[in-house]
C-alpha cells in the first residue's frame, strides 16, 4: 500500500509547485515508509510513498510509460488481485510486461482500455493517470471504498491526496467546516455521507466512482453500483456460489512478497478467512501466523450486551489450536489505549471511534513488528446480514440510521442548532433509502434486507474500512479484506433473505457455505464485534483528560453545554452508536473533537 497525491492545472502553470506536492506527500509518509519519489512537469506534480509488498525491485512510482506516441504517468495506492489475468489480456493485445508488479499491469491496462479499466479490476485501489499529450488526469477509487481518495477543484487547479491531512498542506485548501460538516460530525460520525471530506473545500471520490480532469473541470461518473436482479437458484446453489467466490477471494489475497498473517477474533468471519488461509499455507509446507486482540482487565470487567454477548479470547485460542497456526494474543494496556486517542485522531483526520480506533492503532503497531500484510474479516456483516438492524423490527423501522440508537445524545452536548441538524440527517437517510435498488416483485422482507444492506454498505462499512485503513497504514501495515471482493456483494445482494436468514439465524448462508472449514463451536457462534475495553480505569483516564482539556478553554470548551455533560457523567454505559460506542467512548470522542479542532486549526463557518 502507499500514499498518492498530486496537483494539476492545465490553464495556469504557476499553480503547480513541486515543493507543495512534496509537502503534501511528507505528511503521509507513514503510509509508504519504504520509498518515495515524485514526477513534475509544467502542469502536473505527482508524489508517491511506497509500502513494498509485491515486486520489491520493480514497481517504483510515479511510473511512466510511452505507447503509440502518447506518454502516461501513474500514481497508485492499493493491491490488484487479478494481476495475472490482466497480464494475459495485455499479452493478447501485444503487450508483454517487464515485471510482475501490479502497478505496471494497471498502467498498461489503462493505456490499452482507457476509461473501461476500472471495470476490469479486482482489488482495492485509488489511482491517478496523467495523459501528457491530452492534458488530462484520470482519477479512480475501488468499488467498496477500501482505499481513500480526496480531492478539491479550486479555480482551474485539481488537488488530490490519499488523506485529508495531505490536502490541507496545499495553500488553496483551508480547514473550514461549514454547518453541514458540523452536523455530520455530531449526528453521524464516524460515518459520513458518501463523498464527504468533512472540510468545506474537500470532497472524497465515492466508492465505485472515477473522473477525468481537463480544462479546469473534473467530470465524475460511477463505473460500478449495486444492482437488484432476480435470483433463480436454490439455497444449495447460493451456498455453492458464495463458497466459490469467497475461497477464490481469500486465495487471491494470499499473494505477497513480504510476511503475511491473519487477524483472528474467533468470530465467524475472521475464522473463515483464517481457516482457508491456514489450509493453503499447510499445502505449501508453511504455517499461518494469526493474531487475536484483548484488553488489560477485560476478563475481570467484561459486561455482556445485545451487541457483544461474549468475549473473543477463548474462541480465538481454540480455533488457532484447531488450525495449528502460529498464534499470538496481543493485549492492549489501558493507559496506552487512552494515550493513543490523540494520534488516532490525527491518523483518521477527524474524531472517529475513540478507543476502537486507538486500540487498533496499538495492535497494528505490534503486528508490524513481524508482518507487513494482514487479512481481516470486515464487510461480512454488511453483506450477509450480521447486524441486529437486519432482523430486529424496532431497529429496521426506526426512521433513522439504525445503528444510531440515541440520535440526540451527542448533539445535545453542543451549543448548536440540533433541530436543523436532525432534519438534515433524516433527509440524508430518506434520500439514501430512495436510492436503494429493489425489484417490484421483492417480498417485504427482501426489500427491508436490501435497504439494510444498502445503508450498511454505503455508510457503516465505509467507516469500518476507513478505520482499518488509517490505523493500519499509520504503522506501515497493509490490511486486506477478502469479503470486500465486489463479486461477493453483487451475488449476495440478490439472494433471497429467506436463504440468508434461514431458520432465523444471522448469516445463515455464510455458515452453510463454509461449514466444513470450521468446528461447530465456531461455526454456530453468535456474532461478536471487534472488541473494546470494559476496564473502568479507561473511563477514569478519559474523564481526567477531558477535564484537563476543558480547562484549556479550547474549541470544545466554547461549544459544550456543561450542564448536559454533567448529566452524561452520571450515566452508565448506554450504547448510543453501532455496537461498541457507549458513554466512555462518547467522552473519548469529545477529547478527540477538541484535539482535532486544535491540531487542524479548524474554523467553523
Annotated catalytic residues are: 2
Integer CA distances (angstroms), 6 to 38, 149, 419, 466, 566, in order: 9, 11, 40, 21, 46
Count Cα neighbours of 273 within 13 Å in the Cβ-side half-sphere: 33
In this structure, the number of other CB atoms found within 10 A of the CB of residue 164 comes to: 20
DSSP labels, 266-317: SSHHHHHHHHHHHHHHHHTT---EEEEEEETTHHHH----SS--S-SHHHHH
Number of neighbours of residue 368 by Cβ within 10 angstroms: 17
How far apart CA 167 and CA 210 sit, in angstroms, is 19
The dihedral region occupied by 59, where left means phi > 0, alpha psi between -120 and 50, and beta the remainder, is left
Q: Is 465 left (phi over 0), alpha (psi -120 to 50) or beta?
A: alpha
Please answer whether residues 51 and 33 qualify as being in contact, where contact means their C-beta atoms are separated by less than 8 angstroms. yes
The kind and range of the H/E element at 84 are helix 83-92
Rounded distance, CA 597 to CA 351, Å? 9
SS (H, E, C) 372-405: CEEECCCCHHHHHCCCHHHCCHHHHCCCCCCCEC
561 phi/psi in degrees, rounded to 5? -90, 105
Question: C-alpha grid cell for residue 193?
Answer: 455521507
Q: Which of 603, 591, 600, 602 is nearest to 552 (CA)?
A: 591
CB-based contact 46:75 (threshold 8 Å): yes
Strand partners, 2: 50
How many whole angstroms separate alpha carbon 144 and alpha carbon 47? 25
Taking the C-alpha atoms of residue 174 and residue 167, their distance in angstroms, rounded to an integer, is 9
493 to 382, 452, 578: CA distances (angstroms) = 10, 11, 22
- DSSP string covering 64-78, please? EEEETTEEEEEEEEE
Pull the grid cell for residue 290: 494469526
* Cβ count near 349 (within 10 Å): 24
Integer-rounded Cα Rg, in Å, for the chain is 23
- Residue 258 phi/psi, 5-degree rounding, is -130, 165
Q: Roughly what angle, to the nearest 10 degrees, separates helices 583-599 and 536-550?
A: 40
Amino acid at each position: 500500500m502507499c500514499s498518492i497525491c498530486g496537483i494539476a492545472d492545465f490553464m495556469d502553470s504557476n499553480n503547480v509547485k513541486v515543493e507543495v506536492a512534496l509537502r503534501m506527500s511528507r505528511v503521509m509518509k507513514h503510509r509508504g515508509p519504504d520509498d518515495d519519489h515524485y514526477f513534475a512537469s509544467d502542469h502536473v506534480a505527482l508524489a508517491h510513498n511506497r509500502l513494498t509488498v509485491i515486486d520489491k525491485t520493480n514497481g517504483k512510482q510515479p511510473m511512466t510509460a510511452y505507447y503509440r506516441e502518447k506518454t502516461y504517468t501513474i500514481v497508485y495506492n492499493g493491491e490488484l488481485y487479478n494481476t495475472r489475468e490482466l497480464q494475459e489480456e495485455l499479452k493478447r493485445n501485444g503487450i508483454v510486461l517487464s515485471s510482475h508488479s501490479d502497478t505496471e499491469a494497471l498502467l498498461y491496462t489503462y493505456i490499452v482500455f482507457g476509461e473501461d479499466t476500472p471495470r476490469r479490476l479486482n482489488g482495492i485501489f485509488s489511482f491517478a493517470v496523467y495523459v501528457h499529450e491530452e492534458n488530462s488526469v484520470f482519477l479512480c477509487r475501488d468499488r467498496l471504498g477500501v482505499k481513500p481518495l480526496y480531492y478539491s477543484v479550486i479555480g482551474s487547479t485539481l488537488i488530490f491526496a490519499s488523506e485529508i491531512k495531505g490536502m490541507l498542506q496545499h495553500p488553496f485548501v483551508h480547514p473550514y467546516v461549514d454547518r453541514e460538516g458540523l452536523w455530520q460530525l455530531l449526528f453521524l460520525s464516524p460515518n459520513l455521507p458518501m463523498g464527504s471530506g468533512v472540510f468545506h473545500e474537500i470532497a472524497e471520490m465515492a466508492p465505485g466512482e472515477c473522473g477525468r480532469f481537463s480544462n479546469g473541470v473534473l467530470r465524475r461518473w460511477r463505473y460500478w453500483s449495486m444492482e437488484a436482479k432476480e435470483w433463480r437458484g436454490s439455497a444449495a446453489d447460493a451456498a455453492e456460489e458464495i463458497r466459490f467466490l469467497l475461497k477464490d477471494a481469500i486465495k487471491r489475497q494470499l499473494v505477497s512478497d513480504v510476511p503475511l498473517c491473519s487477524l483472528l477474533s474467533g468470530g465467524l468471519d475472521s475464522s473463515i478467512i483464517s481457516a482457508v488461509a491456514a489450509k493453503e499455507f499447510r499445502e505449501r509446507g508453511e504455517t499461518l501466523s494469526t493474531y487475536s486482540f484483548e484488553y488489560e482487565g477485560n476478563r475481570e470487567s467484561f459486561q455482556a450486551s445485545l451487541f457483544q454477548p461474549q468475549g473473543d479470547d477463548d474462541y480465538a485460542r481454540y480455533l488457532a489450536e484447531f488450525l495449528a497456526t502460529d498464534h499470538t494474543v496481543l493485549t492492549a494496556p489501558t493507559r496506552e489505549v487512552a494515550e493513543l486517542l490523540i494520534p488516532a485522531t490525527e491518523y483518521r483526520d477527524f474524531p472517529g471511534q475513540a478507543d476502537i480506533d486507538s486500540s487498533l492503532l496499538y495492535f497494528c503497531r505490534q503486528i508490524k513488528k513481524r508482518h507487513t500484510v494482514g487479512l481481516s474479516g470486515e464487510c461480512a456483516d454488511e453483506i450477509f446480514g450480521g447486524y441486529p438492524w437486519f432482523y430486529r423490527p424496532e431497529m429496521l423501522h426506526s426512521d433513522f440510521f439504525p445503528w444510531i440508537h440515541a440520535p440526540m445524545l451527542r448533539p445535545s452536548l453542543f451549543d448548536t442548532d440540533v433541530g436543523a441538524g436532525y432534519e438534515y440527517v433524516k433527509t440524508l437517510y430518506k434520500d439514501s433509502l430512495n436510492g436503494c435498488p429493489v425489484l417490484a416483485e421483492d417480498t417485504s422482507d427482501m426489500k427491508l434486507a436490501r435497504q439494510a444492506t444498502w445503508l450498511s454498505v454505503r455508510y457503516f462499512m465505509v467507516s469500518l474500512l476507513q478505520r482499518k485503513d488509517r490505523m493500519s497504514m499509520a504503522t506501515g501495515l497493509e490490511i486486506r479484506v477478502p469479503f470486500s471482493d465486489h463479486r461477493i456483494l453483487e451475488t449476495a445482494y440478490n439472494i433471497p433473505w429467506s436463504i440468508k436468514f434461514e431458520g432465523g439465524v444471522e448469516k445463515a448462508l455464510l455458515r452453510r457455505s463454509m461449514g466444513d472449514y470450521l468446528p461447530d463451536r465456531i461455526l454456530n457462534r453468535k456474532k461478536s464485534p471487534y472488541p473494546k475495553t470494559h476496564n473502568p480505569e479507561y473511563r477514569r483516564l478519559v474523564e481526567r483528560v477531558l477535564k484537563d482539556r476543558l480547562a484549556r478553554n479550547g474549541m470544545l470548551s466554547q461549544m459544550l453545554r456543561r450542564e448536559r455533560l454533567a448529566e452524561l457523567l452520571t450515566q452508565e454505559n448506554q450504547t448510543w452508536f453501532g455496537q461498541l460506542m457507549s458513554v466512555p467512548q462518547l467522552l473519548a470522542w469529545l477529547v478527540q473533537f477538541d484535539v482535532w479542532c486544535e491540531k487542524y486549526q479548524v474554523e467553523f463557518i
